[in-house]
Structure 1
Amino acid sequence: MKVHRQFLNPIVAALFAVFLLTATAGAEEPLDGMFDKLKSADARAAARLEREIWNEWSKSGSPAMDLLLQRGRDALAAGNPAEAIDHFTALTDHAPEFAEGWNGRAAAYYQAGQFGPSIADIARTLTLNERHFGAMAGLGAMYEELNNPQKALEVYRAALAIHPNLRGVSQSVQRLEAKVAGTDL
């Protein structure tokens, strides 16, 4: 019986890898369409598309990981960043390729006033999901708080290139353009 297991394990692993690649490729197609529509959507349609994108991003493929994500988000909403960090750390430990775990922990670190770890987790989020406009908006806000308006402006513009109707970001860009233009004189 051990002989069969030796041969079956690589076959099962290969089939599982093919399944994962197929599932990932299929999941990306609807997102691509949503992002295409997002660029030309009016504010109402953009808000709907944004919710749909966040819903897709929140699917880890594992009920246990989805539960950790929800517990982390609930702790953040309750104003308990330390508990949120614990949940998101467990999530990133068990699902290191799931961008929302890193993004959630970045938000928790931000809420805890720990900008260094937050920025590091945003970098990881953007490595895994280069279109993560939420992470970009958060990074822009941190750069503003760190009194780096030029860097904040750059990140906000990148977020708007992906999601032109991202709430509050257009106003931030206008405010920072004025501030940066005033500092150049």
Structure 2
Amino acid sequence: GGLAQGRFDAAERLLDGLIRDYPDWAEAWNKRATLYFLQDRDDESISDIEETLRLEPRHFGALGGFGQICLRQDEPVSARIAFEKALLVNPHLDGVREIVHELGAEFRPVIN
């Protein structure tokens, strides 16, 4: 609560307005998905990630965010698929590559 929650609320109001005024702007949806993620509002975050990816299928940030939610929900296979898709779009995501490695160095890639 307190100051942090006030900042979250203010950010959410700002992003709600941006999404209302610019509904085709993928990054506004992605930023609100991130805000929801930080508040453990996973269902709302996933909904905004889906909209981000509908608008911009190659949005590797949204793919990575979905992977993080999957990890938090103990769904490592789904997480790995999301992270691998993010790496297909942007192979320079070293942190994501490390997570994929940790998720199963002994397994071959799930997608190719």
TM-score (normalised: structure 2): 0.85
Q: In the alignment, is residue 154 of structure 1 matched against residue 81 of structure 2?
A: yes
How far off is 1:178 after superposition? Answer: 4.3
How far off is 1:80 after superposition? Answer: 2.6
| Structure 2, unaligned runs of 5 or more | none
* 1:150 maps to amino acid: V
Structure 2 residue corresponding to 1:171, chosen from 59, 73, 98 = 98
Partner of 2:62: 135
Q: Give aligned pairs, total.
A: 104
Partner of 1:58: none
Larger radius of gyration: 1
Partner of 1:111: 38
- The separation in 2 between residues aligned to 1:173 and 1:92, in whole angstroms, is 32
Residue identity over aligned pairs, in percent, reads 35
- The separation in 1 between residues aligned to 2:106 and 2:15, in whole angstroms, is 36
Instruction: Say whether the 8 Å CA contact 1:125–1:135 is kept in structure 2.
Output: yes
Instruction: Say whether the 8 Å CA contact 1:82–1:108 is kept in structure 2.
Output: no
Higher helix share: 1
- The separation in 2 between residues aligned to 1:129 and 1:100, in whole angstroms, is 9
Instruction: Say whether the 8 Å CA contact 1:103–1:122 is kept in structure 2.
Output: yes
Aligned ranges 1:80-95 → 2 under 5 Å: 80-95=7-22
Aligned ranges 1:97-108 → 2 under 5 Å: 97-108=24-35
How far off is 1:179 after superposition? Answer: 8.5
Give the root-mean-square deviation of aligned CA atoms: 2.0
Structure with higher RCO (Cα < 8 A, 6+ apart): 2
| Structure 1, unaligned runs of 5 or more | 1-75
- For the residue of structure 1 that corresponds to 2:24, the secondary structure is coil
How far off is 1:83 after superposition? Answer: 1.7
- The separation in 2 between residues aligned to 1:172 and 1:119, in whole angstroms, is 20
TM-score (normalised: structure 1): 0.53
